[in-house]
Amino acid sequence: MLDKLLLIWESLPLLIRGAIVTLELTMSLLAIGFVLGLIVALGQVYGPRPIAMLMSGYERFFRAMPILVLLIVFFYGLAFLGVSLPAFGTAVLVFGLHSSAYQSQIFRGSIQAIKPGQILAARALGMTRLQVIRYITLPQALRLAIPGWSNEYSGVLKDTSFAFAIGVTELARQGWQIATRTREMFLVFISVALIYLLLTYLGTWLLELLERYLSVPGLAGQRREEHGRVV
């Protein structure tokens, strides 16, 4: 047993290297998903009907597609079209597009949670629609979106293991390579699972701290009556 534990210890630098690639992939795709998701949400809520329908079509398409299918189609499709993109770049692009569809619904729900009275009051004071979105809606909506965004982080962190299929040497692929070389599947993948657990816990914990730091005083625990019931 001692020799097996020693094997895991010796493999730890490679697992850490894979974990770093996983984190790089996760942070990059979340950034892309954040920007695109916010644009899609604003288009759905505030855009004219053609724009809203286009954004809804985008969101429903990427939410309906399995991430593994998208990875393979984009990776080999881009190569077929003569576009040279490394496996990591393809994974960031695909995961970012896929995540943006889910993030858009997080942001859309947060935007629609803002009380209409605030919007009407701002317009009555002479603020333009763009000013209302910039100064009233978005500062509150982004705060309200943090719990949902925390859930998205934990989901995409684990989904990055699908990048294994196009050759990205992230944590899962690194673990597989170590396990096939050493023939210690169980202990290696237990170690991989513990690293995923640690990354998920640390990320969600940091986002919880951010949520508390950015919380609006007096807003937490506020009871609102909507549709005839108290929530």
Residue of higher predicted confidence among 22 and 10: 22
Does this model's pTM top 0.85? My answer is yes
Q: Of the given ranges (37-41, 99-103, 142-146, 222-226), which has the lowest mean pLDDT? A: 222-226
Domains of the chain plus CATH, in order, are 2-215 (1.10.3720.10)
In this predicted structure, what is the pLDDT of residue 231?
35
Residue 110 · residue 142 · CB < 8 Å: yes
Where b means 16+ CB within 10 Å and e means fewer, 201-229 reads: eebbeebeeebeeeeeeeeeeeeeeeeee
Q: Of the given ranges (122-136, 198-212, 217-231), which has the lowest mean pLDDT? A: 217-231
Query: Crossing angle of helices 87-112/2-46, nearest 10°?
Result: 50
Residue 226, SS3?
A: strand
Q: Give which of 134, 78, 67 is closest to 101, Cα–Cα.
A: 67
pLDDT above 60 for 201: yes
Residue 229, SS3?
A: strand
pLDDT confidence bin for 226, thresholds 50/70/90: very low
pLDDT confidence bin for 97, thresholds 50/70/90: very high
pLDDT above 90 for 93: yes
Residue of higher predicted confidence among 11 and 161: 161
pLDDT above 80 for 230: no
Distance CA 138, CA 129 (A): 12
Q: Give per-residue pLDDT as tens, 19-64.
A: 999 999 999 999 999 999 999 999 999 999 999 999 999 999 999 9
Distance CA 89, CA 91 (A): 5
Distance CA 160, CA 102 (A): 15
State the chain's mean pLDDT as an integer: 88
- Tokens standing for residue 67: 């991430």
Q: Give per-residue pLDDT as tens, 76-90.
A: 998 888 888 899 999
Residue written as tokens 């809520």? 45
In this predicted structure, what is the pLDDT of residue 116?
86
Q: Spell out the alpha helix ranges (H) of the chain.
A: 2-46, 49-64, 67-80, 87-112, 116-124, 129-132, 138-144, 146-159, 171-182, 185-214
Across 165-185, average pLDDT: 91
